[in-house]
Amino acid sequence: MTTGRAVVVVRAGALTTVQDLGRPGYAHLGVPRSGALDAPAAALGNRLVGNAPSAAVLETTVNGCAVRTRQGVTAAVTGAPCRVTVDGRPAPFGAPLWVPAGAVLDVGSAVAGVRTCLALSGGVAVEPVLGSRSADLLSGLGPAPLTDGCVLPLGPENAPHARVDVAPQPGPPAELVLRVRLGPRADWFTADALRTFGTRVYRVSSASNRVGLRTEGPPLERAVSGELPSEGMVLGAVQVPPDGRPVVFLADHPTTGGYPVVAVVLEDGLAAAAQAPPGTPVRFVPVGPGAIGSRPVGSVPPARRP
The CATH number for 210's domain is 2.40.100.10
104 Cβ neighbours under 8 A, 6+ residues apart: 10, 66, 67, 68, 86, 87, 88
Domain assignment present for residue 117? The answer is: yes
Strand partners, 265: 180
What is the residue type of 246?
P
Shared-domain flag, residues 188 and 99: no
What's the domain range around 266? 176-286
Please report the pLDDT score of residue 295 as a whole number: 39
Look at 3-12, 58-67, 206-215 and tell me which has the smallest mean pLDDT: 3-12
Domain assignment present for residue 214? The answer is: yes
Looking only at Cα atoms, what is the longest distance across the chain?
83
Please report the pLDDT score of residue 128 as a whole number: 97
Domain assignment present for residue 169? The answer is: no
Shared-domain flag, residues 215 and 145: no
Reported confidence tier of residue 203, pLDDT bands at 50, 70, 90 = very high
Shared-domain flag, residues 203 and 139: no
Please report the pLDDT score of residue 165 as a whole number: 59
- 143 preceded by cis ω (within 30°)? no
Reported confidence tier of residue 4, pLDDT bands at 50, 70, 90 = confident
Residue 247: how many CB atoms within 10 A of its CB?
A: 23
Shared-domain flag, residues 119 and 210: no
Question: What total of structural domains would you count in the chain?
Answer: 2
Please report the pLDDT score of residue 298 as a whole number: 33
Shared-domain flag, residues 183 and 88: no
What Cα–Cα distance (Å) separates residue 92 from each residue in 3, 222, 249?
A: 28, 50, 33
Strands, DSSP E only, in the chain? 6-11, 16-19, 57-61, 65-69, 73-79, 82-86, 89-91, 97-99, 104-110, 115-120, 151-153, 176-182, 202-204, 212-216, 231-232, 237-239, 247-249, 256-257, 261-265, 281-286
Strand partners, 109: none
153, 185, 208 — which closes off a domain?
Answer: 153
More confident residue, 292 or 98: 98
Please report the pLDDT score of residue 159 as a whole number: 61
Please give the mean pLDDT across all residues of the chain: 91
* Mean pLDDT, rounded, for 152-180: 79
Shared-domain flag, residues 261 and 133: no
Question: What is the C-alpha separation between 160 and 174, in angstroms, rounded?
Answer: 35
Shared-domain flag, residues 46 and 183: no
Q: What is the pLDDT of residues 111-150, one digit of tens each?
A: 999 999 999 999 999 999 999 999 999 999 999 999 999 9
Please report the pLDDT score of residue 296 as a whole number: 40
Question: What is the C-alpha separation between 114 and 53, in angstroms, rounded?
Answer: 22
Please report the pLDDT score of residue 294 as a whole number: 46
Q: What is the pLDDT of residues 21-76, one digit of tens each?
A: 999 999 999 999 999 999 999 999 999 999 999 999 999 999 999 999 999 999 99
Please state the pTM of the whole predicted model. 0.90
Q: What is the pLDDT of residues 67-92, one digit of tens each?
A: 999 999 999 999 999 999 999 999 99
Shared-domain flag, residues 135 and 216: no
Domain assignment present for residue 166? The answer is: no
Q: What percent of the chain has pLDDT over 70?
A: 91
Look at the alpha carbons of 3, 119, 234, 145 in this order and tell me if their dihedral is positive or negative. positive
Look at 85-94, 258-267, 285-294 and tell me which has the smallest mean pLDDT: 285-294
Shared-domain flag, residues 182 and 257: yes
Domain assignment present for residue 298? The answer is: no
* Mean pLDDT, rounded, for 202-223: 97
Please report the pLDDT score of residue 78 as a whole number: 96
119, 138, 153 — which closes off a domain?
Answer: 153
Shared-domain flag, residues 212 and 250: yes
Domain assignment present for residue 88? The answer is: yes
pLDDT at 170 exceeding the cut of 80: no
104, 121, 153 — which closes off a domain?
Answer: 153
Reported confidence tier of residue 290, pLDDT bands at 50, 70, 90 = low
Torsion of CA 56, 58, 59, 62, to 10 degrees: -170
Domain assignment present for residue 234? The answer is: yes
Shared-domain flag, residues 141 and 31: yes
Domain assignment present for residue 306? The answer is: no
Q: What percent of the chain has pLDDT over 90?
A: 84
Shared-domain flag, residues 146 and 14: yes
